[in-house]
C-alpha cells in the first residue's frame, strides 16, 4: 500500500512511534494499539514508522514489532540505523526482515551511542547510509557470493526492499547545509526510493529540499516531517540534546506561551501540525511523516481530518511556521510562491570561492607528484613497494615513517585503506566520530560535531570549504567512496595503494547508479 501509493503519486501519511527499552511497556502498547485501532476504524494511514534506538539509547528493535503491525492490516517502515551493525550484520538483518515480510526500510546513519549496560556502547558505523543503501539494493538484485567449490559463485535469492533515505536541511551555514544536499544526491544515486526529511519548523527550509532535488533533475518522492512539538521536547531540542533537531528561541517562546492555555497548549500543537500537513500537500510534497510524544489515535485522526478541511487556505499558514535563526543560509532565493514551480537552476555555481587551505594545497601537490597514477613519481613508488616486500625491515621502516608523517599531519589512525584523497585530505577515521566517507551525518549543530560539539568542527564543513575554493564541488557530490577494507587495518596504506589492494584498487572511484552486484566475499 505504501509503495504503491508513492508510485501512483498518492499523498501518503505515515505515523511514527518510538519503541522504548524493554520487551513490553507503554511505548510498545501505544504502537500496537494504534495499529489495531487504525486497522479497523481509520483514519487512512499508509504506514506505521518504527524508530531504531533514537538518541543512541538502547530500546527494543523495531523488527520485533513490525510483523505485529502488519498483521493488523497496516504496513510498517523500519528505521534501519548503521550505528550498531557491521556490514555482515546489515545483511543478516535485511535478510531476516525480508523473510518476515517487512520490506520498507528507512536507512539512516544513526545517532551516536549514549548509554548502555555498564557503560556506553561502542558505535560501529562500518557502513554509512550511502553505502548501506547501495548494499540493500545489491541484495534486491541478488547477491553474488562464493559457491561451495573454489572459483565458483552463486546468486542468493533477491530481496524486495523499498528503501528510504533521510535528509536534514536545518543547517545554519552554507558549508554545513550543502554537504547534506550532496549526500542526499548520493543516496538517491545509490537507489533510495523515497526521502523523509528531518523534523523542523521553517517551511522555506523544507521547500529547499524539494527545490534542490528538482534543480538536479532527480525524481524521488519527498515526505515532509510533521512533529507535534511539546514544550518539554522543545526545551530538550533547544538545548541541543537531540542531534539534528532545531528549535529556535522564537519558537520556544511561542510554545511557552501556549503552555499556559487550559489544555497546556495541546490544541494549538495539533492545529499547527494539521496546518503543516496542509502546507506540505500544497507545496507538492508526496506525503507527511507525523510523530510526537504520547500521541493518541484520536490525535492523529484530528490532524489528518483537520488538514483536509483547511487545505484550500494552506498558503496563509506559511508565515506561522517560518522559524529561522540569525544568519541562516538558504541555497535558493526566497520563493515567489510556495506552490510547485519549474525547477531552479543549480545553485552551486553562484556560490563563489571558499577559503584557501595551505594544508590542502600542499597535500594536493604531493598527491600529484607521487600518487597520480599517470606520473613518474607513482611508477617509481610502485616499483619501490614491490621491491621491499611486506615483512622486510625496509617495509616496516617505511610503514612507520608513513604513519608518523600522516599522524602528525592528518591525525591518521593507520586504517590501511586511506580516504584522504576522497575527502580533501581530511581523515574520516581521525576527524569524524562516525567515520563517514560519503558525507556528513545529520547530527551537527552550528557546524560543530554531534559527538564533540565544544571543540571539533564537522569535518565535512572543512572538506566543503577546501573543495569549494578549487572549484571541485561537483566531485564532492558525485564521488562515491566504498566502505573501508577493515582487513587492511595497521598495514601500510601507501603500499596498499601502490600495489592495488585498497578501495581504489588501482582504478577510479566507482560511480553510483550502476547495477549493483554486491560483495563477492
Q: Percent of the chain scored above 90 by pLDDT?
A: 93
What is the tens place of the pLDDT at every residue in 338-361?
A: 999 999 999 999 998 877 899 999
Residue 512 scores a pLDDT above 90: no
Read off the pLDDT band of 427 (50, 70, 90): very high
Taking the CA atoms of the chain, what radius of gyration do you get in angstroms? 24
Q: Which of 140, 185, 134, 174 is nearest to 160 (CA)?
A: 140
Residue 126 scores a pLDDT above 60: yes
Rounded Cα distance, 155 and 141, in Å: 9
In the chain, domain spans: 2-230+276-349, 358-498
Read off the pLDDT band of 505 (50, 70, 90): low
Read off the pLDDT band of 6 (50, 70, 90): very high
CATH code for residues 2-230+276-349: 3.20.20.220
Main-chain phi, psi angles of 211, to 5 degrees: -65, -40
What is the tens place of the pLDDT at every residue in 46-83?
A: 999 999 999 999 999 999 999 999 999 999 999 999 99
Rounded Cα distance, 102 and 76, in Å: 7
Mean pLDDT to the nearest integer, 233-240? 97
Rounded Cα distance, 50 and 70, in Å: 12
**What are 194's three cell numbers?**
523515497
Rounded Cα distance, 363 and 515, in Å: 34
- Do residues 194 and 221 lie in contact, with contact meaning Cβ atoms separated by under 8 Å? yes
Residue 515 scores a pLDDT above 80: no
What is the tens place of the pLDDT at every residue in 380-405?
A: 999 999 999 999 999 999 999 999 99
Read off the pLDDT band of 516 (50, 70, 90): very low
- For 267, left (φ over 0), alpha (ψ -120 to 50), or beta? alpha
Alpha-carbon torsion (403, 406, 410, 416), positive or negative? negative
Identify the pLDDT of residue 514: 42
Identify the pLDDT of residue 354: 76
Mean pLDDT to the nearest integer, 150-162? 96
- Do residues 503 and 392 lie in contact, with contact meaning Cβ atoms separated by under 8 Å? no
- Do residues 77 and 105 lie in contact, with contact meaning Cβ atoms separated by under 8 Å? yes
Read off the pLDDT band of 472 (50, 70, 90): very high
Q: Percent of the chain scored above 70 by pLDDT?
A: 97
What is the tens place of the pLDDT at every residue in 74-88?
A: 999 999 999 999 999
Residue 197 scores a pLDDT above 50: yes
What is the tens place of the pLDDT at every residue in 295-322?
A: 999 999 999 999 999 999 999 999 999 9
**What are 453's three cell numbers?**
560539539
Q: Could you write out the DSSP letters of every residue in 439-469?
A: S--S--BTTB-SSSTTT-B-HHHHHHHHHHH
Q: How many residues does the chain have?
A: 521
What is the tens place of the pLDDT at every residue in 242-291?
A: 999 999 999 999 999 999 999 999 999 999 999 999 999 999 999 999 99
- Do residues 243 and 450 lie in contact, with contact meaning Cβ atoms separated by under 8 Å? yes
Amino acid at each position: 500500500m505504501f509503495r504503491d501509493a508513492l508510485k501512483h503519486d498518492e499523498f501518503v501519511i505515515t505515523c511514527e512511534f518510538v519503541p522504548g527499552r524493554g520487551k513490553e511497556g507503554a511505548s510498545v502498547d501505544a504502537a500496537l494499539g494504534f495499529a489495531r485501532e487504525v486497522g479497523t476504524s481509520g483514519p487512512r494511514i499508509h504506514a506505521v514508522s518504527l524508530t531504531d534506538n533514537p538518541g543512541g539509547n538502547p530500546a527494543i528493535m523495531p523488527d520485533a514489532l513490525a510483523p505485529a503491525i502488519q498483521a493488523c492490516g497496516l504496513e510498517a517502515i523500519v528505521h534501519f540505523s548503521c550505528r550498531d551493525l557491521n556490514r555482515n550484520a546489515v545483511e543478516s538483518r535485511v535478510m531476516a526482515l525480508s523473510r518476515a515480510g517487512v520490506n520498507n526500510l528507512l536507512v539512516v546513519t544513526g545517532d551516536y551511542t549514549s548509554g548502555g549496560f555498564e557503560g556506553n556502547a561502542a558505535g560501529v558505523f562500518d557502513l554509512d547510509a550511502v553505502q548501506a543503501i547501495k548494499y540493500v539494493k545489491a541484495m534486491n538484485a541478488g547477491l553474488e557470493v562464493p559457491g561451495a567449490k573454489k572459483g565458483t559463485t552463486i546468486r542468493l535469492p533477491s530481496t524486495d526492499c523499498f528503501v528510504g533515505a533521510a535528509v536534514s536541511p536545518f543547517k545554519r551555514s552554507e558549508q554545513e547545509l550543502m554537504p547534506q544536499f550532496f549526500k542526499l544526491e548520493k543516496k538517491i544515486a545509490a537507489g533510495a526510493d523515497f526521502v523523509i526529511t528531518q523534523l523542523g519548523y521553517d517551511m522555506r527550509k523544507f521547500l529547499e529540499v524539494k527545490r534542490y532535488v528538482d534543480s538536479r533533475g532527480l525524481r524521488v518522492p519527498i515526505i515532509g516531517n510533521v512533529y507535534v512539538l511539546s514544550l518539554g521536547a522543545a526545551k530538550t531540542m533547544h538545548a541541543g540534546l537531540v542531534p539534528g533537531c532545531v528549535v529556535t528561541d522564537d519558537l520556544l517562546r511561542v510554545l511557552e506561551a501556549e503552555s499556559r492555555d487550559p489544555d497546556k497548549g495541546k490544541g494549538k500543537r495539533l492545529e499547527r501540525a494539521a496546518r503543516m500537513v496542509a502546507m506540505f500537500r500544497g507545496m507538492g510534497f508526496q506525503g507527511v511523516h507525523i510523530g510526537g510524544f504520547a500521541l493518541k489515535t484520536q490525535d492523529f485522526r484530528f490532524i489528518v481530518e483537520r488538514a483536509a478541511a483547511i487545505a484550500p487556505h494552506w498558503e496563509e499558514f506559511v508565515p506561522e511556521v517560518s522559524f529561522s535563526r540569525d544568519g541562516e543560509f538558504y541555497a535558493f532565493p526566497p520563493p515567489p510562491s510556495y506552490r510547485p514551480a519549474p525547477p531552479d537552476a543549480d545553485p552551486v555555481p553562484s556560490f563563489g570561492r571558499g577559503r584557501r587551505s595551505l594544508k590542502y594545497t600542499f597535500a594536493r601537490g604531493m598527491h600529484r607528484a607521487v600518487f597520480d597514477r599517470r606520473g613518474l613519481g607513482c611508477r617509481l613508488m610502485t616499483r619501490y613497494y614491490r621491491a621491499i616486500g611486506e615483512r622486510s625491515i625496509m617495509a616496516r621502516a617505511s610503514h612507520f615513517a608513513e604513519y608518523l608523517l600522516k599522524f602528525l599531519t592528518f591525525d591518521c589512525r593507520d586504517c590501511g585503506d586511506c580516504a584522504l584523497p576522497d575527502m580533501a585530505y581530511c581523515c574520516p577515521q581521525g576527524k569524524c566520530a562516525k567515520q563517514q566517507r560519503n558525507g556528513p551525518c545529520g547530527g551537527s549543530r552550528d557546524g560543530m560535531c554531534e559527538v564533540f560539539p565544544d571543540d571539533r568542527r564537522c569535518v565535512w564543513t572543512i572538506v566543503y570549504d577546501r573543495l569549494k575554493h578549487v572549484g571541485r564541488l561537483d566531485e564532492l557530490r558525485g564521488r562515491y567512496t566504498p566502505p573501508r577494507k577493515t582487513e587492511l587495518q595497521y598495514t601500510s596504506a601507501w603500499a596498499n595503494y601502490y600495489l592495488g589492494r585498497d578501495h581504489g584498487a588501482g582504478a577510479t572511484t566507482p560511480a553510483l547508479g550502476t547495477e549493483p552486484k554486491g560483495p563477492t566475499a
